[in-house]
Amino acid sequence: MKKNIINFILSSTVILFGLSACKSLTTTTTITGLAYERQPLPNAQITLIDASGKQFKTETNALGIYNISTRGVTLPILVSVVSQGKAEDCANNSRLRPICLAALVNQIPENKNLVVNINPLTDRVVSDIAVSKGFIGPQQWVDSNAVGAVDTQLVNQALTSMRNGFSVALTMAGIENTAGFDPATFAMTDTNPVTEIFSLLHHNRNYDNNTGSTGHTSLTDFSFRPIVGLMPNGAYEPFDLQRARDEYQRVKNAKTRIFIVGDSTSAVYEQLRYPRMGWGQALAAQFKTGSGIEVIVGSRAGRSSRDFYNGRWFTQMDYLIQVGDYVFINHGHNDQNCDSRKALRGPADVKNLCTYPNDQTAKPQFPAGHPELSFQHSLERYIKIAQERGAHPVMFTPTARIKNKNGEQTTPVVHTHLTRQNASNGYLLTGDYTETIKTTAKLHKLPLIDLEAASIDFANKTGEPGWRNYWLVVDPAINPFYANNAAGSIQMPDGTHFQKNGAEAIAKLVAEAIKKNQELIGLHRYLN
Can you give the pLDDT at residue 5?
A: 37
CA angle, 420 then 421 then 427, to 5°: 105
CA quadruple 479, 485, 486, 492: dihedral sign: positive
Instruction: Indicate the helix (H) or strand (E) that contains 458.
Output: helix 451-466
Distance separating alpha carbons of residues 469 and 454, to the nearest angstrom: 17
Beta strands in 311-391 (DSSP E): 326-330
Delimit the CATH 2.60.40.1120 region(s) of the chain.
14-198
Confidence of residue 187 (pLDDT cuts 50, 70, 90): confident
pTM: 0.94
> Which of 10-14, 265-269, 398-402 is predicted with the least confidence, judged by mean pLDDT?
10-14
- What sections of 117-240 are H helices per DSSP? 120-132, 138-143, 152-172, 195-199
Classify strands 494-499 and 276-277 as parallel, antiparallel or unpaired: antiparallel
Delimit the CATH 3.40.50.1110 region(s) of the chain.
254-524
Contact 383, 447 (CB under 8 A): no
Burial class (CB in 10 A: 0-12, 13-18, 19+), 185: buried
Most confident of the ranges 113-117, 189-193, 508-512: 508-512
Confidence of residue 71 (pLDDT cuts 50, 70, 90): confident
Q: Residue 309: phi, psi to the nearest 5?
A: -80, -55
| Neighbouring C-beta atoms of residue 423, cutoff 10 Å | 6
Q: Does CATH number 2.60.40.1120 belong to domain 14-198?
A: yes
Can you give the pLDDT at residue 8?
A: 35
The string of DSSP letters for 110-130 reads: SSSEEE--BSHHHHHHHHHHH
Can you give the pLDDT at residue 23?
A: 72
pLDDT tops 50 at residue 191? no
Can you give the pLDDT at residue 3?
A: 40
Q: Which residues contact 177 (CB under 8 A, 6 or more apart)?
A: none
Distance separating alpha carbons of residues 201 and 240, to the nearest angstrom: 10
Give 18-37 pLDDT, tens digit per residue: 334 567 766 778 899 999 99
The string of DSSP letters for 233-267 reads: SSPPPPP-HHHHHHHHHHHHH-SEEEEEEE-TTT-
Region 377-381: what's the mean pLDDT?
Answer: 98
Question: Of 3.40.50.1110, 3.40.50.300, 1.10.8.420, 3.40.250.10, which CATH number belongs to 254-524?
Answer: 3.40.50.1110
